[in-house]
Amino acid sequence: MKAFVYFSNATQPLSDVDLKTLARQARTKNSVAGVTSYLFFWDNGVFLHYFEGPDEKVEDLMKRLANDNRHQIEFQLSQPNFTSRRFPDDSLAFHVGGTQKGIFRLEEVVKQQLEYCRDGIGRVERWSEKIWLNLDKIANITFAQPSEY
Ligand SMILES: Cc1cc2nc3c(=O)[nH]c(=O)nc-3n(C[C@H](O)[C@H](O)[C@H](O)COP(=O)(O)O)c2cc1C
């Protein structure tokens, strides 16, 4: 199995209906592929997306995501030799958040750490260790919280 995480910028404004459609289609496809996933969307149009599953299925999804013109992927990271799913029950857990100052979310931290990797601020290996640990925490925090979309 393999896990991927990336952050991306939406290339166009996305309405509630757009997000609902995206979530519905993604859940259907992920269920068939045996992919489990976590998607976070900030109201300024940024996505943080994590997914896990059989190597060829997650690689195929990464290719589809890279070709999807609704967003532009800024940085991606993969965790090879990964064995235990973080979101075993979710074809797509989908949470949203604002960008107000003072509201602390771990998703923000992961996005920042991905930016450090992208910009070469410190070693990728060191940041990636922290990123996977933060994703463990996000999985624990969001466990049993209903998806917003
Ligand atoms: C932010 C974002 C997240 C997405 N997440 C998924 C996903 O988890 N699973 C999925 O199958 N498609 C997801 N999609 C849609 C894919 O990019 C792609 O459009 C879809 O899988 C259909 O691909 P196809 O037309 O090549 O079959 C997502 C798209 C966006 C913009």
- What digits encode the pLDDT tens for the residues 105-135? 899 999 999 999 999 999 999 999 999 999 9
Query: What's the confidence (pLDDT) of residue 43?
Result: 86
Please report, for residues 54, 62, 95, 146, the alpha-carbon distance to residue 141 in angstroms, rounded to integers and kept in the order given.
25, 25, 12, 12
Is residue 118 in contact with ligand 1, taking CB distance under 6 Å?
A: no
Query: What's the confidence (pLDDT) of residue 63?
Result: 98
- What digits encode the pLDDT tens for the residues 56-78? 999 999 999 999 999 999 999 99
Query: Which residues form the domain of 57?
Result: 2-142
Residue 144 has pLDDT above 90, yes or no: no
Which string of DSSP letters, residue by residue, matches 90-115?
A: -S-EEEEE---TT---HHHHHHHHHH
Of 65, 76, 111, the one to substitute when testing ligand 1's pocket (max ligand atoms within 8 A of C-beta) is 65
Is residue 20 in contact with ligand 1, taking CB distance under 6 Å?
A: no
Please give the structure tokens belonging to residue 45.
């149009």
Largest CA distance in the chain: 40
Q: 72: CA distance to ligand 1 center in Å?
A: 13
Q: Tell me the CATH number at 10.
A: 3.30.70.100
Looking at the structure of the chain, the number of domains it has is 1
Is residue 58 in contact with ligand 1, taking CB distance under 6 Å?
A: no
* Measured distance CA(134)–CA(113) in Å, rounded: 10
148 falls within a domain: no
147 falls within a domain: no
In this prediction, what percent of the chain has a pLDDT beyond 70? 97
